[in-house]
Structure 1
Amino acid sequence: MEGKMPAVITSITLNTRTYHNVLIEPTLINFFYGKNGVGKSTIADCIRSGAGVVPSLSEYEVLVYDRTFIDSNIRAEGMSGVFSVNEENIRIQEEVKEKEAALEKHRSQRTELSSHYDELQKQLPAIQSKLETDCWGALTEFRTNLFPEAMKKKRNNKNGFIGELLKVTAPAQHEVDEMRSIYEAAFSTDSTAYNKMPSVSVVRIEQIAGYDLLAKAITSRADTPFAEFVRAIGSIDWVQSGHEHFSEKAGDRCPYCSGKLPENFEEQFASCFDDAYECERSAIISFQSNYERLMQAALNILNQNLQHPFPRNDFSVYTDKLETLKAKHELNKSRLSEKISSPTTKVQLEPVAELMEELNQIIQKMNAAIEENNSIISERKSKQAECTEMIWEHMAFVTKAYVEKFHSDIAEVNGHLSKLKKSLNTLGTAITALQNEIAKLSLQIVNVDATMNSINDMLINAGFQGFTVKKKRGEPNKYQIVRDDGSTARGLSEGEKNFIAFLYFYHKILGRERADSEFKDRIVVIDDPVSSMDSSALFIVSSIVRELISICHNNGCAEKHDSPRFIKQIFILTHNSFFHNEVSYNRLDTDDFHCVNFYLIKKENNTSTVVHCTKKDAFGRTPAIEQNYTPVYNAYRTLWREYKEASSPIVLKQVIRQILEYYFIQICGYKGEQLSDLIKKEQDLFIKQNSDGTENRDLLLAVDSLMHYVGANIHGLSDGYDYIDDSADMEGIRETFQQIFTAMNQPQHFDMMMQSV
């Protein structure tokens, strides 16, 4: 809780009877006020039992005064004795004090180290959480999109996923595409095995017979006159082409000029071409045939491969290269046709071998995927395991930096924890040794007589007569309440029983039940201690409670480190407003805000709630600072609280009138007219100067209006004279009210009441 000093009990969660998940965050001193039946005793019961209490109270003695305590201890068979210190043996007392101081120091050190230990322990899940967040985010794509089936049982379980990741002993980087290929086959629902695609025989143009003739001009070497004439005019290709196209159609006429051809023209034409020419021309035609045959066979295979059904085939690059190959092939066909038509022309073909080799490489790569698919299908379970292992290895590699940081941080924290554990064990041994030494020394200086005598003195001081507390006959370490004649006191009144029980409780806080028992620090709970008591008993109980509160308060004051501080936390619960004010009136000061809490317990519709009573006083000297307020008010203080909370001029003026009448007329003894006259003598307090130098008499008019009705009807408001303009300035009314106290020379009363509510 902000601004509050933490005490032993840091929180109480109430989930019983009429409470439903109500959280209380107490400090050192805690006052609870509430009517009978609202649930005060439930809080006392929870602290006694530890239900909903954080932390454990095993190292403290929890002492609860309530009806259960009274019924358990004020019985005819007697009360267990309370051992208190015998003041005669001062030397041993001093030795015990020294050892108790050392014990307290060791315990304080242990508490500090335990707190540090607990804080370090909290770092472990924080480090784990950071690792989970970092790795979970870094591997989102792997979990959700790329490999979901490989981690099916863990991909939606962050803790299980990170646990599996930490099991990887050898992180390794793998190609994601490779893992994806294996994954799709291993975890696919498709169980089809596929035939491999055939590759093609690479056509190496330069190795086909006749290739060298492409770059050679093929001409005839015949020496007939007609052959020499054709060569002279450079028309061998033209003559041959014309003959091929028109010889059968032209008959004995020239197809170009229609002239009569010589009878031996065919002989002369044939004489133009020697055997070498014809042989080379036939070789080119053969080259063309072989080239086109080889290429067509390869293209048929390459085209058929495009129809292969394997779903993971990627033909994008393959298709581009195939189209390039086809284009080159068409260009080569055109150039070969040109060479055959014109043997003297030199041609150069586009190379196709490199493209075909690249296509074969693509086919080989796709065939490897097909082989892997077929292998995985035949060994699916083992391939799934192999694939999963690869994926986890790769993910461990991706998150390697996070995991290394995790192990480093965990090792560092565990190292500190190990050292702290060793120190705590050493302190524990020292504390046990001191406890044993103190117990042995205490046997020499404690007895039950001092407690008995103190209780009897208090009974006399409170006016109780006719019975006392004495040692029980035959049981020296037990008390019994007896009458003056020595008989067991029976028929004690409720108030008498409660008072004796409280005195016994008080001494249990100060003493111990066994002579050799350790005196532990106390958590004290006091639930309605003044039930059925008269005023004198109530006064004594209130005084005792204030003493106990002071002991607890010493824990919140550094300057009182040498004062008793064995009550580490105290809870006071009551329905008695007088008792509440008696024990808490001196704890409302702002200096005590850090170590004092006030609570109001309410109950509506059989549901109890606890209101923490803090506020910011808009009209106080420190309006921004949180402060405590008591839930118990008398009638006059209630008027001042209404004054602070008034939100309309009508309500504000009515409350002001009642305050003025109560304080100045009923308490101070002024009469209405007298009060008005005294205020008029100080009228300068109500006159201000405007910025232009003129007088502002608004406050003077306001005070005249207020004083007109003060004292007119002390016992109530007059219906005939109480109409007030609700458009009046709230700030002006409040200023006028404050100036009245100044005019009456009592500004300190105004300040006190404004600070007290």
Structure 2
Amino acid sequence: MIETITIKNVATYDNVGVQVTGLKKINFIYGSNGCGKTTISNFIFDNAELKYSNCSIVWKNTIPINTLIYNKEFRERNFGKGKLNGVFTLGEATAEQIKTIEDKTEELKLIKADGLKKRETQTSQIDKKDTLENNFKELVWTKIYKRYEPIFKDAFVGTLQKESFKGKLLQEFSSNTTALDTFENLKEKAKTIFGEVPHTIPPINSISFDKIIEIENKEIWKKIIVGKADVDIAKLIQKLNLNDWVNQGREFIQGDKTCPFCQEKTITEDFKKQLENFFDETYLNDIKSIKELKQEYNSQVENLINELNSVEIGQKDFKNTKLNVDRFSAYLKTLISQNTTNSELLNNKVKEPSRSVELITLREQLDLLAELITNANTEIKAHNDIVANFNTEKNNLIKAIWKLIIEEFKTEITKFNTDKNGFQVGITALQTQIDLKLAQHKALDIEIKNLSKNVTSIQPTINEINRLLKSYGFLNFEIVPTTEEGFYQIQREDGTIAETTLSEGEITFITFLYFLQLAKGGVSEDTVNDERILVIDDPISSLDSNVLFVVSTLIKEIIKDIKLDVGNIKQLILLTHNVYFHKEVSFIDGRTKNCNNTNFWILRKNDKITTLQSFLIENPIQSSYELLWKELKSGGLNSSLTIQNIMRRIIENYFKLLGKYGDDDLIQKFTTKEEQEICRSLICWINDGSHSINDDLYVELQDRTIETYKNVFKNIFLLTNHEGHYNMMMNISEIAH
């Protein structure tokens, strides 16, 4: 069945729209023309249309049922093409075949009812399980999270939502094997471990200076580098210790014979040769060696000092440094000073190779600097070990906190898991049973369809429609099969096709009869026994008052079957703008005021916007008519004019429905002139919709008593053979009993 219909953002429905909720087996929606009834029926017929994108239907147990819609569009779709599709019903079936199909159909209903019952039970269990989980979620959030979060906030990282916290709690309950600690111990540990998080410190690069020390220790620095001793000029140069001076001047000897020392032309070839022999290859190699070693030494020391400078700068800016920066800076400063002295000594050695120099060794300062770096790296490693262990300790603390929590709430968690597992077992078992019922339903439904194919026919539908037409006075046309198998057409008595000559009322009536047959059968053999929902929208348009009662009678038969759960029609939604049709079709009986299987609504359009009012099981249309009788029965009416108007409105409402009593017909039922005048004043609204002032004045001036009015009013019903209606409305039968 349909449980809820939501209509908005279409036709006369705004973005708020209306929601028809609480739909039952029988549903009456009253509304004047243009208030949006057909929009509802068209939406139910084809809710996939884009214009209905903001509308929705909620089905009971989320199971849609085939829905048949009767409205203006139905008449156009079916009657407008000149022929009607055949409606298959059980026709040429034997009593035994029909009994077999009926039995199996009844069995199918039982299977479906059982399946739906199990589905409802499962849904109830799911709802209870969801409620259990929500209640538990709120419980642990309030009693655990709110209590412990200010103290152990870091332990709850990643579980700051109710659902995630609940999930974490249940996970820890099933897997946490940490030893239980006390709350006070955990609180103290949290103060330390949940403080500022330490970070890993990168180690300082160690320094290497073996090459520097190696160069410092070269013997060449102490070696006195001089020329060859067995050359003639050697004795003089060595005696005067002029090795370096002569070597430097040798570079200035020009191509001519001018001496670079005395500027006289004293340079001979023999002298040049002696100079070359004096500064031989050994001498030159030593000179080359000291120059290369000096360059390498300077480069090595310069690179190392730059590296040490970088360490100093980086560690000065690092607040968590483990290096003794002050000592490091002092040692580095000394190292730089020593290197400056060594650079000068090396320059002198290159300039005066015959001089012996002794470099200041940098080993001591470099060892001190290396030791500081080593000590710092030792502390850094210890720190990093602490950091690594800190993460472990923090994780252990978090596990211990959760262990404390789950132990404290062990009873609640255990009960929740037990209850939840119980629900889940039931839900799973019900799903197995539901699947079995679905399989049984499908198999039996196929069997019924196969049986129906062999015994269905469209001829019973033809016969039934023609029977109804004749029984209600439509004698000049009938339904006959077309030459095309499976279709009907409308034919006059003389054999001519009657489609173009039928009145609007005749078309409406015959199409409605066709719809009723379609509701009981199907357009194919397979659909004869399918369950369906009927939506009927203004079925009495263009019909006279006689046919109005015919249609209401036919619909009331359907309503009766739906209430008794007989047949395949499971729900009816009826929409109408006709007050009298609404009263007639929704009338139950003289004693019963309402029905729990029925709900009522009224659609209204104000300022071009449709609204909906629900009356539940109270019929709002009939209530206004009954209210007049209620006022009439009350003992507080003293004004003859008031009671006269009430009686007049009752007569108008009731006898106008019958449509066969004119003004004079009712008046002539009375024998005395006095009674006739009173009757005239009571019924004068029936024909022209207003009352005669002269009649009112005449009756009032005669000062008729209230009892006289009541007697005449009652006699109108008695003399027209409608005493039963009078007694019913006045509750006379109840008083008699």
Specify every segment of 5 or more residues in structure 1 that has no aligned partner in the other structure, as ranges. Answer: 1-7, 194-371, 556-563, 615-626, 676-710, 723-735
1:396 to 406, 421, 437: 406
> In the alignment, which residue of structure 1 is the partner of 2:164?
160
**Equivalent of residue 133 in structure 1, options 105, 120, 138:** 138
Q: Which residue of 2 aligns with 1:522?
A: 532
Cross-structure match for 1:715? 696
CA distance in 2, matches of 1:739, 1:133: 73
> Take 2:700 and 2:400, find their aligned partners in 1: how far apart are those partners?
92
Question: Quick one: which of 610, 631, 642 aligns to 1:655?
Answer: 642
Instruction: Identify the range of structure 1 (79-88 vs 480-489) with the bigger mean alpha-carbon deviation.
Output: 480-489
Matched, 1:476 2:485: yes
Query: 1:44 maps to what in 2?
Result: 41
Provide, for residues 695-748 of structure 1, a one-character-per-residue CA deviation record: whole Å limited to 9, x for no partner: xxxxxxxxxxxxxxxx997537999999xxxxxxxxxxxxx9899969999999
2:438 aligns to what?
428
1:410 counterpart = 2:420: yes
| Cα distance change of structure 1 residues 411 and 88 upon mapping to structure 2, 3 Å threshold | closer
Other-structure match for 1:611: 613
Whether contact under 8 Å (1:642, 1:655) holds in the other structure is no
In the aligned structure 2, how far is the partner of 1:13 from the partner of 1:644?
42
Report what 1:28 is aligned to.
Answer: 25
Q: Report the CA distance between 1:121 and its aligned residue.
A: 1.6
Instruction: Quickly say closer, same or farther: Cα 1:743–1:456, change in 2 above 3 A.
Output: closer
**C-alpha deviations, 1:342-370, integer Å up to 9, x for none?**
xxxxxxxxxxxxxxxxxxxxxxxxxxxxx
Letter in 2 for 1:185: T
Quickly say closer, same or farther: Cα 1:382–1:45, change in 2 above 3 A.
Answer: farther
CA displacement 1:191-245 (0-9 Å, x = unmatched): 699xxxxxxxxxxxxxxxxxxxxxxxxxxxxxxxxxxxxxxxxxxxxxxxxxxxx
Quote the RMSD (CA, aligned, Å): 4.5
List per-residue Cα deviations over 1:442-484 (Å, max 9, x = no partner). 22321111112322333344444665433232x3122234565
Matched residues in 1 for 2:609 and 2:435: separation?
Answer: 46
Question: How far, CA to CA, are the matches of 1:741 and 1:631 in structure 2?
Answer: 25
Q: Equivalences for 1:599-678 in 2 at 5 Å?
A: 599-613=601-615, 628-631=618-621, 639-640=628-629, 655-659=642-646
Q: Give the letter for the 1:180 counterpart.
A: K
Out of 574, 580, 583, the position equivalent to 1:581 is 583
Q: Deviations over 1:577-625 (max 9, x none)?
A: 22222212235753642122232221212332222336xxxxxxxxxxx
The separation in 2 between residues aligned to 1:522 and 1:136, in whole angstroms, is 48
AA paired with 1:170? N
- Could you tell me which residue of structure 1 aligns to residue 555 of structure 2? 545
- For 1:118, what is the secondary structure of its paired residue? helix
1:692-703 equivalence runs, <5 A: none
1:13 pairs with 2:6: yes
Equivalents in 1 of 2:551, 2:487: separation in Å?
24
> Partners in 2 of 1:97 and 1:83 — Cα distance?
16
Residues 69 and 534 in structure 2, CA contact (< 8 A), matched pair in contact too: yes
What residue identity is the alignment partner of 2:98? Q
Higher mean alpha-carbon deviation, 73-82 vs 114-123, is at 73-82
Contact 1:47 1:53 survives alignment (8 Å): no
Q: What TM-score do the two structures reach when normalised by structure 2? A: 0.59
The answer to whether 1:96 aligns with 2:73 is no
1:181 match:
188
Partner in structure 2 of residue 266 of structure 1: none
Report the more deviating stretch, 95-104 or 531-540.
531-540
Contact 2:647/2:713 (<8 A) preserved: no
**CA positional deviation for 1:62:** 1.4
Report if aligned partners of 1:661, 1:714 keep a CA contact under 8 Å in 2: no
Which one-letter code corresponds to 1:71 in the other structure? Answer: E
Percent of aligned positions with the same letter in both sequences? 25
Distance change (3 Å), C-alpha of 1:511 and 1:575: same
CA distance in 2, matches of 1:180, 1:459: 91
The equivalent of 1:752 in structure 2 is: 729
8 Å contact 1:600–1:631 — kept in the other structure? no
Task: Mark the CA change 1:46 to 1:392 in structure 2 (over 3 Å): closer, same or farther.
Answer: farther
Distance in 1 between residues matched to 2:508 and 2:728, nearest whole Å = 40
Q: Which residue of 2 aligns with 1:86?
A: 91
Aligned mates of 1:34, 1:114 — CA distance in 2: 36
Change over 3 Å in CA distance of 1:402–1:737 after alignment to 2: farther
Tell me if the contact between 1:471 and 1:479 (Cα under 8 Å) persists in the aligned partners.
Answer: yes
- Residues of 2 paired with 1:664 and 1:72: CA distance? 41
Which residue identity is paired with 1:135?
Answer: V
Secondary structure in structure 2 of the residue aligned to 1:432? helix
Where 2:621 maps in the other structure, the secondary structure is coil
Instruction: Give the distance between the partners of 2:437 and 2:604, measured in 1 at CA.
Output: 45
CA distance change for structure 1 residues 737 and 416 in 2, over 3 Å: closer, same or farther?
Answer: farther
Letter in 2 for 1:500: I
Equivalent-residue separation in structure 2 for 1:674 and 1:535 (angstroms)? 30
Query: 2:506 and 2:648 mapped to 1: Cα distance?
Result: 43
Alpha-carbon spacing, 1:662–1:567, altered in 2? closer, same or farther (3 Å) = closer
2:458 maps to which of 448, 456, 469: 448
Give the drift of 1:123: 1.8
Which residue does the alignment assign to 1:554?
564
Name the CA distance, whole Å, in 2 between partners of 1:137 and 1:171.
25
Q: Which amino acid letter does the alignment assign opposite residue 35 of structure 1?
A: S
* Structure 2 CA distance for partners of 1:610 and 1:531, relative to 1, 3 Å: same
Does the residue aligned with 1:444 lie in a helix, a strand or coil? helix
Distance 1:716 1:613 in 2: 40
State whether residues 80 and 478 of structure 1, in contact with CA within 8 Å, keep that contact through their aligned partners in structure 2.
yes
- CA-CA distance at 1:35 after TM superposition: 0.5
Contact in 1 for aligned 2:66/2:532 (Cα 8 Å):
yes
Could you say what secondary structure the match of 1:524 adopts?
strand
Deviation of 1:426 (Å)? 2.6
Alpha-carbon distance change, 166 to 63 in structure 1, aligned in 2, over 3 angstroms: same
Q: 1:642 to 1:599 in 2, by over 3 A?
A: farther
Alpha-carbon distance in structure 1 between the residues aligned to 2:26 and 2:732: 21
The offset of 1:404, in angstroms, is 1.4
Contact 1:439 1:517 in 2 (8 A): yes
The structure-2 alpha-carbon separation of the partners of 1:663 and 1:592, relative to structure 1 and needing over 3 Å to count, comes to closer
Aligned partner of 2:517 among 498, 507, 517:
507
Q: Which residue of 70, 73, 80 maps to 2:78?
A: 73
Assess if the C-alpha contact under 8 Å between 2:36 and 2:610 holds in 1. yes
Question: 1:495, 1:508 → 2: CA distance?
Answer: 20
Contact 1:588–1:630 (CA<8 Å) still a contact in 2?
no
**Does 428-437 or 407-416 show the bigger shift?**
428-437
Taking a change above 3 Å as real, the CA distance of residues 654 and 743 of structure 1, as seen in their structure-2 partners, is closer
Does residue 126 of structure 2 align to residue 124 of structure 1?
Answer: no
Tell me: CA distance 1:429–1:54, structure 2 relative to 1, closer, same or farther (3 Å): closer
2:176 to 170, 189, 201: 170
State the one-letter code of the partner of 1:9. Answer: I
Q: Distance in 1 between matches of 2:633 and 2:155?
A: 69
**Shift of residue 164, structure 1, vs aligned partner:** 1.3
Q: 1:388 to 1:714 in 2, by over 3 A?
A: farther
Deviation at 1:752, TM superposition (A): 1.9
